[in-house]
Amino acid sequence: DSGVTQTPKHLITATGQRVTLRCSPRSGDLSVYWYQQSLDQGLQFLIQYYNGEERAKGNILERFSAQQFPDLHSELNLSSLELGDSALYFCASSVYPSTDTQYFGPGTRLTVL
């Protein structure tokens, strides 16, 4: 158990809908990262927050957004969902924002029908 929690574990929704994925980092970690893992794209970095501030952005679509709250939990919002958004979404956390080891949560499996 890495100490990173993600909810929900599974999510099934329809195209065009909007969903919110939630992540709580390990105790003491200030940085949160979001990744998408799909069969054809592998593990793709989406976005990083550190103490509430966006620090790095990867291959995140405009339909996706994220934020980190004062209690350090983070939410990833996915809107206007498409079939291709079906994937495993991981959250990871680390103490420092740069080059630190990232510990991953169990993931949220999103299925868009």
* C-beta of 16 vs 54, nearer to other proteins: 54
* C-beta of 45 vs 79, nearer to other proteins: 45
Nearest distance from C-beta of residue 72 to other proteins, angstroms: 16
In angstroms, the Cα distances linking 47 to 2, 57, 61, 64, 67 are 20, 4, 10, 10, 10
Where on the chain is the footprint of other proteins (CB under 8 A)?
Answer: 2, 31, 33, 42-43, 45, 48, 50, 55-56, 88, 90, 92, 94, 97-107, 109
Nearest distance from C-beta of residue 55 to other proteins, angstroms: 3
Closest CA to 86 of 75, 78, 98: 78
Nearest distance from C-beta of residue 47 to other proteins, angstroms: 10
Query: Parallel, antiparallel, or unpaired for β 108-112 and 10-13?
Result: parallel
* C-beta of 15 vs 41, nearer to other proteins: 41
Residue 82: left if φ>0, alpha if ψ -120 to 50, beta else—which one? Answer: beta
